[in-house]
């Protein structure tokens, strides 16, 4: 029996460069199916639901929808609120009042958890209802998925930034430390490796939350690279931890800020980068030591998008609607790699993803724990898209010295 009613779309968690492609994919696909009578968008995720802050996406032009799809960040705004049982009861009053029968929530593992709680509550309420989680996160930390929409574009930003910084340090020498997002998963930081074209190119060192960060080893690593190349470019994850598993950044922050999911706020401060530069400067007496914290620029930069990521983000939106109608069950749309390189989409039970975190597997991290492997580079390459800008060096021969004063 067909389930007829309205659809509701919401976006949760941190924004990405392609999250609106998924939203536009849902809207475009939903318009093709008679079961979905109207398509609402909730403003600010689950907050927008209990407040009945809806907009009628059926009354959006196709042209503008496509323009919004190409605009980074969450066009429906976002939230960090995690609903509990009471919050869910409020949600259902609203859903019932508006006859909403399809709920599409675009977000990460916390959002998958939210969809799971909402769908469980629907069963308790005997409310006929489809709840679909649509994947999104620059952290690439969703289990089951080969990778997640948003990651490829953020990874591309990180790769392009490190390619530029490597050239900068090549011109003026010194040590450079770039702090990259990703929380407890190292995927985004690891993407810096795609900046390497020539054999001596940085990042020469990559530190991930999946391996303990030992300051003495870090100093020794930097010294070795600097002595060899006259420069050292380092990618460091914001989530690096000491041997006891405590995030390094925790020791630097006076006020620890957490969201409703219990996540520590790691971005929005240069403290970790400043600590590491100071440590290198003191230990190695190198004068030119610089650090940048990539922060919020990396996840929504206008005009740095992986075409592959863009296309897949669109498709997971379309598949969410198709699965909801064809399979008649709740779940998460998951991405699976097939061959080298295509993808397949599946519907996976929410409980398999909700609240879980995927980490960099061992085969993606080198034995020394300070860089990635060829297996990771091979994994990453297709996600960045095919039109990456390239880097060239001069290859002109040296001129023989005449005076030889030196």
What residues are annotated to the active site?
139
CB-nearer residue toward a second copy: 126 or 406 = 406
Structure tokens at 129: 């209802």
Find the binding residues for a second copy in span 239-278 (CB under 8 A).
257, 267-271, 273-274, 277
Beta bridge partners of 258: 264
CB-nearer residue toward a second copy: 245 or 389 = 389
22 sits near a second copy (criterion: CB under 8 A):
no
The CA R_g of the chain, rounded to the nearest whole Å, is 23
| Alpha carbon distance 232, 218 (integer Å) | 12
The position carrying tokens 């863009």 is: 310
What is the nearest approach in angstroms of a second copy to the Cβ of residue 331? 25
Residue 175 CB neighbours (<10 A): 26
| Alpha carbon distance 364, 373 (integer Å) | 5
Find the binding residues for a second copy in span 57-96 (CB under 8 A).
57-61, 64, 67-68, 70-80, 90, 93-94
Interface pick for a second copy out of 103, 129, 301, 323 (rule CB under 8 A) = 301
Residue 231 contacts by C-beta under 8 Å, 6 or more apart in sequence?
A: 169, 170, 173, 174, 175, 176, 202, 225
Interface pick for a second copy out of 18, 25, 28, 41 (rule CB under 8 A) = 41
CB-nearer residue toward a second copy: 263 or 373 = 263
Interface pick for a second copy out of 86, 287, 342, 386 (rule CB under 8 A) = 287
| Alpha carbon distance 389, 326 (integer Å) | 41
What is the nearest approach in angstroms of a second copy to the Cβ of residue 328? 26
CB-nearer residue toward a second copy: 245 or 400 = 400
Check: CB of residue 55 under 8 Å from CB of residue 21.
Answer: no
CA atoms within 13 A on the CB side of 172: 10
DSSP class of residue 92 equals H
Check: CB of residue 178 under 8 Å from CB of residue 204.
Answer: no
What is the nearest approach in angstroms of a second copy to the Cβ of residue 349? 29
Interface pick for a second copy out of 5, 7, 10, 15 (rule CB under 8 A) = 15
What is the nearest approach in angstroms of a second copy to the Cβ of residue 388? 8
What is the nearest approach in angstroms of a second copy to the Cβ of residue 86? 13
Interface pick for a second copy out of 56, 128, 344, 362 (rule CB under 8 A) = 56
What is the nearest approach in angstroms of a second copy to the Cβ of residue 256? 12
Check: CB of residue 190 under 8 Å from CB of residue 376.
Answer: yes
CB-nearer residue toward a second copy: 313 or 365 = 313
Per DSSP bridges, beta strands 36-42 and 5-11 are parallel
Interface pick for a second copy out of 212, 295, 369, 382 (rule CB under 8 A) = 295
């Amino acid at each position: 029996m067909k389930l007829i009613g309205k659809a509701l779309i919401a976006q949760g968690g941190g924004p990405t460069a392609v999250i609106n492609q998924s939203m536009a994919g849902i809207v475009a696909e939903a318009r093709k199916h008679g079961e979905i009578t109207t398509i609402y968008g909730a403003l600010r995720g689950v907050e927008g639901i209990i407040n009945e802050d809806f907009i009628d996406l059926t009354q959006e032009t196709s042209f503008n929808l496509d323009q919004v799809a190409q605009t980074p960040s969450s066009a429906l705004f976002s939230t960090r609120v995690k609903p509990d049982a009471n919050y869910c009861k409020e949600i259902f009053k609203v859903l019932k009042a508006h006859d909403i029968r399809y709920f599409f929530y675009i977000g990460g593992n916390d959002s998958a958890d939210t969809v799971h709680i909402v769908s469980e509550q629907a069963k308790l309420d005997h409310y006929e209802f489809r709840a679909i989680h649509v994947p999104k996160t620059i952290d690439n930390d969703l289990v089951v998925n080969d990778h997640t929409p948003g990651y490829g574009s953020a990874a591309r930003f990180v790769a392009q930034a490190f390619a530029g910084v490597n050239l900068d340090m090549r011109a003026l020498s010194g040590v450079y430390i770039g702090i990259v997002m990703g929380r407890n998963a190292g995927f985004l930081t690891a993407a810096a490796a795609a900046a390497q074209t020539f054999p001596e190119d940085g990042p020469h060192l990559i530190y991930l939350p999946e391996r303990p960060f030992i300051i003495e080893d870090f100093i020794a690593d930097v010294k070795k690279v600097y002595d060899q190349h006259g420069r050292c470019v380092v990618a460091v994850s914001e989530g690096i931890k000491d041997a006891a598993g405590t995030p390094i950044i925790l020791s630097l922050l006076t006020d620890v800020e957490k969201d409703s999911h219990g996540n520590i706020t790691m971005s929005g401060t240069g403290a970790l980068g400043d600590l590491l530069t100071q440590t290198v400067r003191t230990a190695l007496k190198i004068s030119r030591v610089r650090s940048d914290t990539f922060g919020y620029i990396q996840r929504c930069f206008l005009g740095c998008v992986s075409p592959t990521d863009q296309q897949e983000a669109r498709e997971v939106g379309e598949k969410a609607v198709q699965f909801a109608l064809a399979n008649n069950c709740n779940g998460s749309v998951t991405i699976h790699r097939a061959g080298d390189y295509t993808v397949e989409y599946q519907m996976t039970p929410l409980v398999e993803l909700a609240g879980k975190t995927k980490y960099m597997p061992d085969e993606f991290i080198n034995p020394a724990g300070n860089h990635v492997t060829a297996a990771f580079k091979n994994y990453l390459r297709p996600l960045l898209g095919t039109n990456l800008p390239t880097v060239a060096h001069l290859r002109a021969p040296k001129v023989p010295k005449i005076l030889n004063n030196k």
